[in-house]
Structure 1
């Protein structure tokens, strides 16, 4: 018995050490920042950035990795201290519950080994999350709520119009107050249950992408195998999302789902992190026709920061993508959609956002247009569409 207890103690100790070291090691490999802070831009660009009242980003996967977001980290791109340094008013924290082994932009099987299972175990999450997508999702949502509670009013959770207005009012008196929202990357997290949609709504989730990197019960992914549109279950989810006022995120959807959603939705859509085919001809990026339909729907498009969405060098691609959308449908539909901490290499962390301002200035964007892109469009969108 003593030997058994000793062995269990050793195993427990090893597991505890692994939970401290392994997630950080994995994230260092999966979330590289190509250029580390501090960042320098021209005085003109910095002055404009410093005048920005509302800066927002529509896509960040920082919750996936198990970091304490209340502490400044040298790993990844986003945490509350770096958000404050960058004067971020609102960040959309997106929940990843499953990722296929060999993940790629072209074709992924929903039956592939799930990379998130071993990460969930290594992070020391409760056993009920190890093999349950909905429990992982609710667990990450709870983690964000816990981080916000630790901030003692310095981070405001936004899930309706009243809390959004509370954030705007709080920032008038104190610019170190920042805001956080919750989204889901891939509705496979619902495990085929409308009841689970109610659960994630109660957890404060207000944006859901029907698909991520593989096909699921709702329909086809832009990177899946069948290219299908919405299934009957998918249509029922979209209808209920409209009723609950959960925003639909089209970022990883098959073209058929994009068409189906834009045909049936009664609410404006979001595309949280994407590029355009006119800049980079990728199957994950938007066609001009899709951009025009999203604009006609009153939606908003978050431009991603990584090479597989905007090309290399990324900064040139980001600006070119924004310029194309502006010239096609207008600047009012453009937002930042970094995909920070989303297992992609990014050119700079969240404190490097003045680099976007400098790039826009060089391409002739006005200060009013820059303000719109950096966050005023998001502010307007939520003032008009949250309830």
Structure 2
């Protein structure tokens, strides 16, 4: 974890309102120190190098949910039904990040429906969070590469608005323009379950990108909206990569050859993404990117996927999208386990963990990732690529 940014002045979410009067109040999880700190076994010299690299290079998390959860996991549904998830300003100020792709807890923003992904619920999630963002001066709402570079220059953190699925646009293509107008710059095709655009990874069969899906991808390209295929089925992934005229992202996943579940991507999808100039971000949500060598989920498990993907497609096409939040992520999965199934059939049994050691929240992820890379003798140039440079290269094409 990095020292607190000097640009952060202590703002807390919805600080311009009165909790309990203007909105429902919840006791929130600790942003710093909720779980024991990760011990990466670095020397003082290596620790110094980690700090220097994060100070000198642009660091971009390709996928997070940079919000604070209730301390009591039994309140998660009630909290999300308000639509007012709290941005974790304090935690992000200690993250060392230049930019974070924030995906807004969108599938869990069940304001009008317990099933999520409704258009009105997305407007709640976006509107409340962006209104709060406009009331402070530490996080910047980034819509261009120049915004990200400016955040680096000014010692601030750029927040890129993203959504994990296009389900909420239904069959209304122009809703993509509306989302773009609200500042959304990255969007997924399908979140595990099939929708009007294409297949999701939890379905037993995947028909690929639909006719409407092809029109949607074309519109995303015209708008300059980055496309994510993390939760899409394999055939849909390949169809999107082929149909898009710019590179696409796998913002948060892993390699199926390392851990055999549908939540991971097969080699042909990872290769196709890279061959068209795209990037895969390595995932760290609990019990996803495991490995035979490290079945107890931790930073080491995730880095097994990292080294495999680097060997498969080269270091220019790999980055990190840890997919973390501030609070009990395992509790979130338990709360919404009936909503979005992820097929884990075929995988060996594995020990359950209360949190992913070393990648528990956005405040610590990149410090520990860079520490691992330093410890394993990656060069400054290589580290700069995988913590942000590769993502910037793709965004220059897409935006």
With the shorter chain as reference, the TM-score category is 0.7 to 0.9
Where does structure 1 differ by over 6 angstroms across 4 or more consecutive aligned residues?
A: 15-18, 127-132
Match of 1:338 among 322, 332, 340: 322
Distance 1:192 1:62, change over 3 A: farther
> CA shift at 1:93, angstroms?
0.9
User: Could you tell me whether the CA contact under 8 Å between 1:207 and 1:248 is conserved in 2?
Assistant: yes
Match of 1:145 among 125, 130, 143: 130
Structure 1 residue 351 corresponds to structure 2 residue 363: yes
Provide the rounded CA distance (Å) in 1 between the counterparts of 2:38 and 2:250: 30
User: Could you tell me whether the CA contact under 8 Å between 1:130 and 1:136 is conserved in 2?
Assistant: no
> What residue is the counterpart of 1:74 in the other structure?
none
SS in 2 for 1:349: coil
Structure 1 residue 49 corresponds to structure 2 residue 58: no
> What residue is the counterpart of 1:369 in the other structure?
382
Match of 2:65 among 61, 64, 73: 61
Q: Per-residue CA shift, 1:181-218, capped at 9, x if unaligned? A: 11111111212211222211111111111111211111
> CA shift at 1:285, angstroms?
1.0
> CA shift at 1:229, angstroms?
0.8
Provide the rounded CA distance (Å) in 2 between the counterparts of 1:97 and 1:157: 17
Structure 1 residue 94 corresponds to structure 2 residue 103: yes
Give the TM-score taking structure 1 as reference length: 0.76
Q: Per-residue CA shift, 1:22-62, capped at 9, x if unaligned? A: 8x5xx89xx9x984448665224422221222111111224
Structure 1 residue 261 corresponds to structure 2 residue 232: no
Please show how residues 5-154 of structure 1 align to structure 2 within 5 Å: 19-21=24-26, 24=28, 35-37=35-37, 42=42, 43-51=44-52, 52=54, 53-62=57-66, 65=80, 66-69=84-87, 79-98=88-107, 116-117=109-110, 120=111, 133-152=118-137, 154=138
User: Could you tell me whether the CA contact under 8 Å between 1:273 and 1:302 is conserved in 2?
Assistant: yes
> What residue is the counterpart of 1:219 in the other structure?
198
Provide the rounded CA distance (Å) in 2 between the counterparts of 1:335 and 1:320: 13
Structure 1 residue 228 corresponds to structure 2 residue 207: yes
Structure 1, unaligned runs of 5 or more: 1-14, 70-78, 100-115, 121-126
Number of residues of Structure 1 aligned to a counterpart in Structure 2: 328
Provide the rounded CA distance (Å) in 1 between the counterparts of 2:308 and 2:117: 41
Provide the rounded CA distance (Å) in 1 between the counterparts of 2:34 and 2:135: 31
Give the TM-score taking structure 2 as reference length: 0.74
Higher mean displacement: 339-348 or 51-60: 339-348
Distance 1:45 1:351, change over 3 A: farther
SS in 2 for 1:240: helix
Distance 1:131 1:157, change over 3 A: closer
Higher Rg: 1
SS in 2 for 1:171: helix
SS in 1 for 2:391: helix
